[in-house]
């Protein structure tokens, strides 16, 4: 006959299992039926701030896949309106301080995430290893670095960096790694970065936090506005 301690352990295990099921459910949100950006409630941030610097990596070949990613038909940054407006306010504040943002990715269609997973599964294609994952085997990327469901598909997440501006010219600050560098060195608080790189990362985090954006600790460039996150994910192409 089980003791009270054993029964308690059983209930604890059950509670943990239910919690894990809830997490799993959260990790697989419903797909929105939206077919346009308007239906998805998203806007092109350039319509709100034409001067925002963009280098939309997945609309070109300068990214970890080495190719234009499915779903990116134009180099544009779309976000849900609340997130877009908050990002524009961050840019305005930084501009007054002599800094600016450079955007690398914003809303990401589900089909693009599927393309990432497909790329990660092709272990024979390693042409971008030196630039993006020099210290890891490609078989280690799926899971920690490339997820089958991305928060970007909810419309309130952005990948970006910070630039210092002078005389009308802006230069990116040294953040310690390039964008989409799959390595612990890209973790925001990695102790190996130099004091200057650490200060630059902290400056970016502080600037984004003023409008409610939270940093993802595994990637210094990745920020989400929790208040604007959609309960569903979208697959509207970027065009």
Res 143 pLDDT > 70: yes
Whether 239 is covered by a domain: the verdict is no
| Number of domains observed in the structure of the chain | 2
* pLDDT tens-digit map of 149-195: 999 999 999 999 999 999 989 999 999 999 999 999 999 999 999 99
Strands 99-105 and 53-54: parallel
Confidence of residue 28 (pLDDT cuts 50, 70, 90): confident
Contacts of 47 (CB under 8 A, 6+ apart): none
Confidence of residue 144 (pLDDT cuts 50, 70, 90): confident
Residues 17, 42 share a domain:
no
Cβ contact 46:52 at 8 Å: yes
Confidence of residue 21 (pLDDT cuts 50, 70, 90): very low
| CATH code, 49 | 3.30.1380.10
Tell me the mean pLDDT in the region 26-36.
86
Tell me the mean pLDDT in the region 71-89.
98
Whether 112 is covered by a domain: the verdict is yes
Using DSSP, state whether 85 is helix, strand or coil. helix
Residues 51, 24 share a domain:
no
- Can you name the residues that pair with 157 across neighbouring β-strands? 224
Mean pLDDT of the chain: 90
Residues 199, 88 share a domain:
yes
Structural domain that includes position 106: 34-228
Residues 88, 60 share a domain:
yes
* pLDDT tens-digit map of 118-134: 999 999 999 999 999 99
Catalytic residues: 219
Q: Quote the Cα angle for 160-62-46, to 5°.
A: 45
Residues 75, 10 share a domain:
no
- Distance between CA atoms of 156 and 140, rounded to whole angstroms? 27
Residues 137, 73 share a domain:
yes
Residues 189, 75 share a domain:
yes
Residue 27, pLDDT score: 56
């Amino acid at each position: 006959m089980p003791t009270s301690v054993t029964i308690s352990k059983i209930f604890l295990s059950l509670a943990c299992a239910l919690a894990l099921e809830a997490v799993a459910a959260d990790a697989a949100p419903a797909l929105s039926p939206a077919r346009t950006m308007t239906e998805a409630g998203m806007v092109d941030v350039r319509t709100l701030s034409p001067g925002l610097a963009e280098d939309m990596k997945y609309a070109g070949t300068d990214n970890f896949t080495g190719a234009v990613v499915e779903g990116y038909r134009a180099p544009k940054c779309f976000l849900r309106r609340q997130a877009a407006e908050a990002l524009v306010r961050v840019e305005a504040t930084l501009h007054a301080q002599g800094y600016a943002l450079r955007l690398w990715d914003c809303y990401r269609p589900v089909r693009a995430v599927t393309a990432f997973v497909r790329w990660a599964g092709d272990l024979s294609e390693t042409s971008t290893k030196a630039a993006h994952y020099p210290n890891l085997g490609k078989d280690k990327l799926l899971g920690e670095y490339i997820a089958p469901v991305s928060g970007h598909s909810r419309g309130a997440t952005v990948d970006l960096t910070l630039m210092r501006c002078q005389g009308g010219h802006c230069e990116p600050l040294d953040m310690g790694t390039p964008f989409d560098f799959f390595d612990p060195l890209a973790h925001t608080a990695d102790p190996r970065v130099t004091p200057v790189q650490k200060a630059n990362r902290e400056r970016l985090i502080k600037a984004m936090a003023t409008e409610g954006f939270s940093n993802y600790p595994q990637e210094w460039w990745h920020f989400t506005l929790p208040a604007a996150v959609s309960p569903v994910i979208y697959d509207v192409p970027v065009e």
